[in-house]
Amino acid sequence: MKYEWLDDFLVSMPNSTKDFKVEWEWTRYQIGEKLFAAICKDATGLRDILTLKLDPMDGDFLRSQYEDIIPGHYMNKVHWNSIYLDGCVPEEMMKEMIEKSYHIVFDSLSKKKQKEISEKKE
């Protein structure tokens, strides 16, 4: 994987949690027990991918701009996008996509859950 900073950046999202789902062989990153990012292998089992939730229009645009961004692997193809981690997506673009995914998922939580998470110490 060429993005050596990736795991540190994902766990740096406020109050995010990380685990490994053995059955799926996925490293999952969550906020409020909801997935905002996952790292796993592609369908061939040869390439690492990062899967993120994005606004459908953002996802369509980014897929048209970068061949290493594809519809979400094992996920809803409208809302989720996967990025090949041996590809050529610029670091700043990856970080922006991660932050957007985090905020989309956080904003989808109930106001009560958002408040509980926001009040936790990081």
Chain segment 110-121, per-residue pLDDT in tens: 999 999 988 875
Which is more confident, 12 or 1? Answer: 12
User: What pTM did the predictor assign?
Assistant: 0.91
Asked if 53 and 105 count as a contact pair (C-beta separation under 8 A), the reply is yes
Strand boundaries in the chain, DSSP class E? 17-21, 26-31, 34-41, 48-53, 69-71, 80-84
Topology classification of domain 6-117? Aspartate Aminotransferase, domain 1 (3.90.1150)
Radius of gyration in angstroms for the set of CA atoms belonging to the chain, rounded to a whole number: 14
pLDDT on residue 121: 58
- What is the pLDDT confidence band of residue 62, given thresholds at 50, 70 and 90? very high
pLDDT on residue 118: 87
Torsion of CA 16, 17, 18, 20, to 10 degrees: -140
- What is the pLDDT confidence band of residue 3, given thresholds at 50, 70 and 90? confident
